[in-house]
Amino acid sequence: MLLIPAIDIKDGQCVRLRQGDLTSNISVFNPDPVEQARQWVELGAERIHIVDLDAAKSGKPVNLPIIRKIAKQFGQDVSIEVGGGMRTCDRVGEVLDAGVNYVIIGTAAVKEPGFLHDVCSEFSGDSVIVSLDAKDGIVMTDGWTKSTGHTAVELAKKFETYGISSILYTDISRDGMLTGCNVEATAELARNISIPVIASGGIRDLEDIRQLLAVESDGVTMAILGRSLYERTLDFSEALDLVNQYERGNE
C-alpha cells in the first residue's frame, strides 16, 4: 500500500477543502507548499499528490512555478502526481515537462473521452491517472455539481482500455470530512478492473489504513492522505509503520 500525502495549492499556499468547496471551508495549513513537500519527503513519502486548485477553476497553470520547484527539489526522491485544470494537451505537456511523473485528469476525461485518448496517444498512458469522483456510486463532474448518470465501474472499465496507469476514486460525500474512507465501494471498483485503484476521501486514522490494507489484494494499492495528516488525526510515520508491518507479515 502506497500512502500519498496531498498538497492542495490555492493562491500559492497549501490548503485543504471540505467536499471540494472552493468558496468556503478553506483551511490554510502551510503558506509554503515547497516546504510542506519537504516535510513529507523527510518523513518517508514515496509519492506526493498535488492539486492546483486555481488551475482547476481557471484552466490556467497558475501554480506551475511552485510545482516545478517541488519537482526540481524532490523529484529524485519521490514521484509526483498533479491534477487541476488538465483540459488540453498543451497543459498536460507543460506539467510533465516540469518534472512531474503523473497527470490526473478528471472532468475532461469523463466529458471528452476523445481528449483522454489524445493525451494517452501523445504522451505515455502510463503517466495518466483518471480521477472518478462519485456520489452514491454515480460519477459527478464540473466541481461535483453534475451527474454523468454512469457508475464509476462503467467508466473505469472504459478508460482502462486507453492504457492509463490507474484510477483515483473519491467518494465526494466523504472528501475532507474525516468520516472514514468508503472502503467497500473502492474495493468493489478495484475488483472490476485490472489496473490499480487509488483510494481517496474521508481517510481519518489508522483504522482506515487497516481497512484499506485488508482490500489491497483486490487492487486498492494506494491511498491519498489529506486533511487527516494536517489535522493530525493520522500520524504519517505511524501509518507508514503499519503498512510496513503488514507487508512484512505477508511476505
DSSP state of 85: -
DSSP state of 61: -
- H or E stretch at 29: strand 27-30
Compute the distance between CA of residue 154 and CA of residue 109 in angstroms, rounded to an integer.
13
Compute the distance between CA of residue 162 and CA of residue 156 in angstroms, rounded to an integer.
10
Compute the distance between CA of residue 176 and CA of residue 19 in angstroms, rounded to an integer.
6
Compute the distance between CA of residue 178 and CA of residue 231 in angstroms, rounded to an integer.
10
Block residue for cell numbers 512484512: 248
pTM above the 0.85 mark? yes
Say whether 8 is catalytic.
yes
pLDDT in tens, 26-39: 788 999 999 999 99
For helices 89-97 and 113-122, give the axis angle rounded to 10 degrees.
Answer: 40
Which amino acid, residue 148?
T
Would you say 64 and 50 are in contact if contact means Cβ atoms under 8 Å apart? no
Would you say 193 and 217 are in contact if contact means Cβ atoms under 8 Å apart? no
Q: For the chain, state the CA radius of gyration.
A: 17
pLDDT in tens, 219-242: 999 999 998 999 999 999 999 999
Reported as half-sphere exposure (CB side, CA atoms, 13 A), residue 116 has a value of 25
Choosing from 52, 54, 133, 171, which is the catalytic residue?
133
Helix, strand or coil for residue 13?
strand
CATH number of 2-249: 3.20.20.70
**Digits of tens for pLDDT over the chain (251 positions)?**
999 999 999 999 999 876 555 555 678 899 999 999 999 999 999 999 999 999 988 888 889 999 999 999 999 999 999 999 999 999 999 999 999 999 999 999 999 999 999 999 999 999 999 999 998 889 998 776 788 889 999 999 999 999 999 999 998 866 555 668 899 999 999 999 999 999 998 899 999 999 999 999 999 999 999 989 999 999 999 999 999 999 988 76
- Angle CA 219–212–198, to nearest 5: 50
Reported as half-sphere exposure (CB side, CA atoms, 13 A), residue 104 has a value of 24
